[in-house]
Amino acid sequence: MSIFGFGNKRATKMFISELPIFKEVSMQNQVVSKGIISTVVAQKIIEIAPELVQEGFKLFSSTIASFTQEYISETIVHKNIDGDSKRGIFLPSSITIVRANFPKDINSKKNNCFDGYGNTPNSCKELSDRKLHIELDIIKSLDEDSFYFQPSSYFYCGKDNSRKRIDELNLYFAFVTADENISDWNSIKFQKIISFKELEDEYDYNFKIDKDRYDTSYQSPWIGSELSKKGAYTMIFKIEEKRYSKPFAKTLNKIYKNHEDELQKRINQEIREQLKK
């Protein structure tokens, strides 16, 4: 099975708790009277000022307009998990999703965040400049026909990869078996499982009280259709970072649009007056 389109140049990774058992320009002769230069430059600026102002207003206008709409950025992480086509799927006990500065050398002693840590302490918290860190335990039902994701810890810096302020972080889940041969992530159907909102930025939340007890505020719904499948599969998470639209921005945008032409005229007039001085 191959999954294309997941090339993630950003430092967001997913780990599972255990693996299945199986030149300079010469300035000579360029001396010109300063008075002549300043006059020429001033004249040129006066000529292009309207264009510069107009471009500036376009940028400003688009910036204000962007705050009147919901902003969403998405990151997808996945993990291929091997298995036997004659046996039920192997489901790890926990999942780690991390966005941080990872050592370039995978053998670095500073890199203690990896697959298959099992009973070995997970040291992802020791990574430098963490921006996102979610630990998910996978809880099976007593009959082992269903499971759900239970967050055990959560940390988020409050900004996406573009450094835009984010109000809400949502996790979506998808499960693709090897025989489905899906090669385009746009064709994958994700289901929303957990929504993190109204949480403090830059704060480590611990939802696991002890070995078998959790704060269940952010657990996913039960997922019952996957454990009956067999063989190798790909577990996929989509991280959706959302910024809400701002009501004040809609009002500001309306006022700005009503006075944009007059503002341009006044600024261009001020430029001409200052340059003539």
Least confident of 79-88, 236-245, 246-255, 264-273: 246-255
Mean pLDDT of 27-33: 43
Q: Is the pLDDT of residue 42 over 70?
A: no
List alpha helices for the chain, DSSP H.
34-66, 247-276
Q: Is the pLDDT of residue 116 over 70?
A: yes
Q: Is the pLDDT of residue 29 over 70?
A: no
CA pair distance 247, 260, nearest whole angstrom: 20
196: number of Cβ within 10 Å: 16
DSSP letter, residue 211:
T
Least confident of 38-52, 105-119, 141-155, 179-193: 38-52
More confident residue, 193 or 265: 193
Q: Is residue 19 part of a domain?
A: no
Please check whether residues 99 and 226 belong to one and the same domain.
Answer: yes
**Could you tell me which of 134, 150, 118, 169 has the C-alpha nearest to residue 223?**
150
Least confident of 165-174, 176-185, 201-210: 176-185
Q: Return the percent helix, strand and coil in the chain, to nearest 5.
A: 25, 30, 40
Number of domains in the chain: 2
What's the pLDDT score for residue 217? Answer: 92
User: What are phi and psi for residue 4, nearest 5 degrees?
Assistant: -100, 160
CA pair distance 139, 95, nearest whole angstrom: 11
CA pair distance 18, 90, nearest whole angstrom: 10
Q: Show the domain range for 255.
A: 35-67+247-276
Q: Is residue 90 part of a domain?
A: yes
pTM for this entry: 0.69
250 — pLDDT class (breaks 50, 70, 90): low
Please check whether residues 204 and 262 belong to one and the same domain.
Answer: no
Q: Is residue 197 part of a domain?
A: yes
Please check whether residues 204 and 102 belong to one and the same domain.
Answer: yes
State in Å, rounded, how far the first CA of the chain is from the last one.
Answer: 71
Q: Is residue 1 part of a domain?
A: no
Q: Is residue 5 part of a domain?
A: no
What's the pLDDT score for residue 47? Answer: 64
SS3 33: coil
Q: Is the pLDDT of residue 173 over 70?
A: yes
